[in-house]
Amino acid sequence: MPGLSGVDAGRISWVDTAQLTEAAQDNDSSLLRSLIQTIPDPIWLKDPAGVYLALNPACCRLIGRNEGEVIGKTDRDFFAADWAEFFRRKDLEALVADESRGNEEWITSPDGQRRLFETIKTPMYDAGGILIGVLGIARDITTFWEAQQQIRKSEETYRSLFDHMLNGFAYCLMLFEQGQPQDFIYLSVNAAFEAQTGLKGVTGKRVSEVIPGIRQTDPELLEIYGRVAAGGPPEQFEACVKSLGMWFSISVYCPKPEHFVAIFDVITERKRHEAMLEYLANYDSLTGLPNRLMINARAGQAIARANRQGTSLAILFVDLDNFKHVNDCFGHQAGDQLLRDAAQRLKGRIREQDALARMGGDEMVVLMEGLTREDDAAVLAKSLNEILHAPFLIGGHDFFVTASIGIALYPGDGEDIDTLLSHADAALYRAKSQGRNRFCFYTPELTARATERLLLEADLHRAIQRQEFVVYYQPLWDLGTGTMIGVEALVRWQHPEKGLVAPAGFIPLAEANGMIVPLGAWVLDEACRQMRAWRDRGFSLRRMAVNLAGPQIFRGDALAMVRQALETHGLPAHCLLLEVSETFIMDEGESGYDILCKLRDLGVELAIDDFGTGHSSLSYLKRLPINELKIDRAFVDGLPHDANDAAITRAIIAMATSLGLEVLAEGIETEAQRAWLSHLGCHRGQGYLFGRPMKPSDLERYLIPR
């Protein structure tokens, strides 16, 4: 079969392979010879005694003699004695081992050039297995060696460059997780790395192992690593390594895939300096409080938050009264100390979400967030003033300090911080001019309202302690039979100066500040005590209605309170009816529902008070465990002539009847109202027509002896 003897296009000639093989067998020594002659690497054959048997032209050139001059001679005839000895030893090593042996040999060529050869020496046998000698083949690797030397030298140069560099240097292998670089293995680091970080012997270790707690999961870092790993240009960033307590400026890049170089500078000092400058720019160095600049920025954020959340905020401008006097009479040091101590006290009084700043001199500002009522600001102003009342001990002297406070509210008193501050300042001026040691709102009506409320609150506290409350009772009437079916307990405040105060004057405040919980518990206990007393005196009274306020249900333990009142006075649960306002029931939803169910399970009856004023969901109403709806007085008022009131009342009665609930109309004052309601199927009522709320002794004339 013809074979391809040349691949140069257009000059292809074909030879018969069979012919070639035959020729080769006939004349194998001549074919081998031309093969060996052609190989560009020196090839030679020596007998076991080191005598050359054959060699190719390349070997002749190496030795610098022709074939005839070499054959029959040994290396001693051409090389220096020590080299000839070396070659001989290597020949023998291959012969003794009876296998190929390689080594590198420097040989000086006839023109005096020293060249490096990689030599392989192999024992050679004839067809009969008789040892012929050692076959040697050598390759000139001088150029390769020189290149290697160059690389080594440049590596050494770089190495020494990195080692002498002042920047820390780390060469790492990137470790990926889900395609994202997550950790690194140190391949090498320089001396500056060790000196600056204090980390020694890191080579071969993971970064996460060497620097515990380091977070390679910071999204910003991951993004940078991702970009450089994807072949992006070098990037620089600043990072704080908390466990080392150091800041670094780091340049990173990937010289080849998965290889990562980080060159860094320790910038902890610079960062500390920057932080210090920032602190000085934003904080007051005397008190450590934020300064005007800082509070301006915070107020901007607070206003944005208030807009989002639909809340308001207050700016309280606080100015220490007579501070100048302390400064003038006792020196600046005492003044400074007083400011520091006062700032500390004020700071301890504000909530975490609020801010206190020093504006300069003895002026401080509180930024109060999340305000739902303006009263909150008044309450805070009052408590800030109170906290300053205790004397300040400075330099062995007691100093008494008060403060004047001006309050501006967002959004009512201004839409931006500058307006709010200037209005709070105006209010402060008013507080000062009204005699100091007080607060003023920017709007005078607010000041009046808040002051009144605070006074009332203090009064109410005292009233509870002094037991200034009394319970009045109003008859509940059966409209059909004209008999009394029970009474409603209604609290009054026997005020030492104002006389008898109606619930409208204090119940809303007591509900807002939580005092209704103890007050309501007292009313319930008193009503139960009164009922027990009437029963014990032989009066028959079927039912006692007591009002239960929302906060008593969700802030107090209504169930325990009711159980205890009944138990204390030995009353059956069914004689008690608790009135809960419609608004509370609908606002509280499921949590209110649970408690009402438990009360109902106890055996007490439940009524929805002031029905029609809230926004009842009929489906919810249907599920509620209630017995009675009390139609609010507002609808009874216009009966029977007001068409709207009549329509609403009629609808409530119809709905109550269809839900199987009792219905009671409040505020019946005329016979016409009674007749109309009775005619429409409302069988219960309460109102001045039958009797006003009255003292227990007055009510007794309505009671029937058993």
**Region near ligand C2E per CB under 6 A, out of 18-26, 249-257, 460-468, 498-506:** 498-506
Taking the complex as a whole, the smallest distance from the CB of residue 609 to ligand C2E amounts, in Å, to 5
The Cα 348–Cα 383 span in angstroms is: 11
Taking the complex as a whole, the smallest distance from the CB of residue 547 to Mg ion amounts, in Å, to 4
For ligand C2E, the closer of residues 105 and 525 by Cβ is 525
Provide the pairing of β-strand 684-685 with 662-665: parallel
Per CB under 6 A, contacts with ligand C2E among 590-649 are 609-610, 633
From the list ligand C2E, Mg ion, none, pick the one residue 688 interacts with, judged by a Cβ distance below 5 to 8 Å according to partner type. ligand C2E
Tokens (6 digits) for 36: 């060996």
The Cα 211–Cα 170 span in angstroms is: 14
The Cα 141–Cα 450 span in angstroms is: 100
For ligand C2E, the closer of residues 543 and 633 by Cβ is 633
Beta-ladder partners of 250 = 237, 264
Taking the complex as a whole, the smallest distance from the CB of residue 298 to Mg ion amounts, in Å, to 46
Residues found near Mg ion in the complex (CB under 5 A) = 547, 579, 609-610, 666
Q: Applying CB under 6 A, which of residues 162, 686, 696, 699 lies at the interface with ligand C2E?
A: 686
Q: Applying CB under 6 A, which of residues 56, 287, 404, 547 lies at the interface with ligand C2E?
A: 547
From the list Mg ion, ligand C2E, none, pick the one residue 502 interacts with, judged by a Cβ distance below 5 to 8 Å according to partner type. ligand C2E
- Is 549 one of the binding residues for ligand C2E (CB under 6 A)? yes
Tokens (6 digits) for 355: 């801010």
From the list Mg ion, ligand C2E, none, pick the one residue 93 interacts with, judged by a Cβ distance below 5 to 8 Å according to partner type. none
Taking the complex as a whole, the smallest distance from the CB of residue 632 to ligand C2E amounts, in Å, to 7
Tokens (6 digits) for 378: 């008044």
Please work out the total of residues on this chain that contact ligand C2E, with binding judged by CB under 6 A.
24
The Cα 181–Cα 615 span in angstroms is: 59
Identity of the amino acid at 529 = R
Q: Applying CB under 6 A, which of residues 338, 523, 596, 639 lies at the interface with ligand C2E?
A: 523
For ligand C2E, the closer of residues 369 and 579 by Cβ is 579
Backbone angles phi, psi at 434, to 5 degrees: -90, 10
From the list Mg ion, ligand C2E, none, pick the one residue 491 interacts with, judged by a Cβ distance below 5 to 8 Å according to partner type. ligand C2E
For Mg ion, the closer of residues 196 and 547 by Cβ is 547
Taking the complex as a whole, the smallest distance from the CB of residue 287 to Mg ion amounts, in Å, to 53
Say whether 481 sits in a helix, a strand or coil: coil
For ligand C2E, the closer of residues 81 and 504 by Cβ is 504
For ligand C2E, the closer of residues 487 and 491 by Cβ is 491
Question: Are the C-beta atoms of 678 and 638 separated by less than 8 Å?
Answer: no
**Region near ligand C2E per CB under 6 A, out of 316-324, 428-436, 617-625, 686-694:** 686-694
Taking the complex as a whole, the smallest distance from the CB of residue 502 to ligand C2E amounts, in Å, to 4
For Mg ion, the closer of residues 284 and 579 by Cβ is 579
For ligand C2E, the closer of residues 547 and 678 by Cβ is 547
Say whether 635 sits in a helix, a strand or coil: helix
For ligand C2E, the closer of residues 321 and 582 by Cβ is 582
For ligand C2E, the closer of residues 327 and 686 by Cβ is 686
Q: What is the end-to-end Cα distance of the chain in Å, rounded? A: 139
Taking the complex as a whole, the smallest distance from the CB of residue 409 to Mg ion amounts, in Å, to 34
Identity of the amino acid at 283 = Y
Say whether 683 sits in a helix, a strand or coil: coil
| Helix intervals (H) in 498-576 | 507-513, 516-536, 550-554, 558-569
Let me know if 505 is exposed, middle or buried by CB neighbors in 10 A (0-12, 13-18, 19+). Answer: middle
Per CB under 6 A, contacts with ligand C2E among 655-684 are 666-669
Q: Residue-wise over 372-381: b if at least 16 C-beta within 10 A, else e?
A: eebbebbbbb
Let me know if 73 is exposed, middle or buried by CB neighbors in 10 A (0-12, 13-18, 19+). Answer: middle
The Cα 506–Cα 78 span in angstroms is: 128
Q: What angle do CA 515, 521, 525 make, to 5 degrees?
A: 150
Beta-ladder partners of 606 = 578
Identity of the amino acid at 616 = S
For ligand C2E, the closer of residues 119 and 474 by Cβ is 474
Taking the complex as a whole, the smallest distance from the CB of residue 402 to Mg ion amounts, in Å, to 44
From the list Mg ion, ligand C2E, none, pick the one residue 523 interacts with, judged by a Cβ distance below 5 to 8 Å according to partner type. ligand C2E
The Cα 417–Cα 423 span in angstroms is: 10
Taking the complex as a whole, the smallest distance from the CB of residue 633 to Mg ion amounts, in Å, to 7
Question: Residue 442 has what DSSP assignment?
Answer: S
For ligand C2E, the closer of residues 69 and 669 by Cβ is 669
Taking the complex as a whole, the smallest distance from the CB of residue 511 to ligand C2E amounts, in Å, to 7
Per CB under 6 A, contacts with ligand C2E among 97-126 are none
- Is 507 one of the binding residues for ligand C2E (CB under 6 A)? yes
For ligand C2E, the closer of residues 295 and 661 by Cβ is 661
Q: Applying CB under 6 A, which of residues 63, 70, 350, 490 lies at the interface with ligand C2E?
A: 490
Q: Applying CB under 6 A, which of residues 414, 520, 612, 685 lies at the interface with ligand C2E?
A: 520
For Mg ion, the closer of residues 58 and 578 by Cβ is 578
Taking the complex as a whole, the smallest distance from the CB of residue 546 to ligand C2E amounts, in Å, to 7
Question: Are the C-beta atoms of 193 and 169 separated by less than 8 Å?
Answer: yes
For Mg ion, the closer of residues 369 and 609 by Cβ is 609
Q: Applying CB under 6 A, which of residues 688, 695, 698, 704 lies at the interface with ligand C2E?
A: 688
Taking the complex as a whole, the smallest distance from the CB of residue 520 to ligand C2E amounts, in Å, to 5
The Cα 426–Cα 429 span in angstroms is: 5
**Region near ligand C2E per CB under 6 A, out of 89-97, 195-203, 383-391, 497-505:** 497-505
Which of 432-435's residues contact partners 24+ apart within 8 Å by CB, and which partners? Answer: 432/319, 432/321, 432/404
Per CB under 6 A, contacts with ligand C2E among 561-580 are 579
Count other C-beta atoms under 10 Å from residue 670's C-beta: 14
Taking the complex as a whole, the smallest distance from the CB of residue 609 to Mg ion amounts, in Å, to 4
For ligand C2E, the closer of residues 199 and 507 by Cβ is 507
Taking the complex as a whole, the smallest distance from the CB of residue 637 to ligand C2E amounts, in Å, to 8
List Cα–Cα distances, 149 to 142, 146, 152, 496, 588, in angstroms: 10, 5, 5, 109, 86
Taking the complex as a whole, the smallest distance from the CB of residue 611 to ligand C2E amounts, in Å, to 10
Backbone angles phi, psi at 47, to 5 degrees: -75, 170
How large is the greatest C-alpha to C-alpha distance in the chain, in angstroms? 158
| Length reported for the chain | 706
The Cα 694–Cα 473 span in angstroms is: 5
DSSP of 215-256: -TT-HHHHHHHHHHHTTPPPEEEEEEEGGGTEEEEEEEE-SS
Backbone angles phi, psi at 458, to 5 degrees: -65, -40
Taking the complex as a whole, the smallest distance from the CB of residue 491 to Mg ion amounts, in Å, to 11
Residues forming contacts to ligand C2E in the complex (CB under 6 A) are 474, 490-491, 502-504, 507, 516, 520, 523, 547, 549, 579, 609-610, 633, 666-669, 686-688, 693
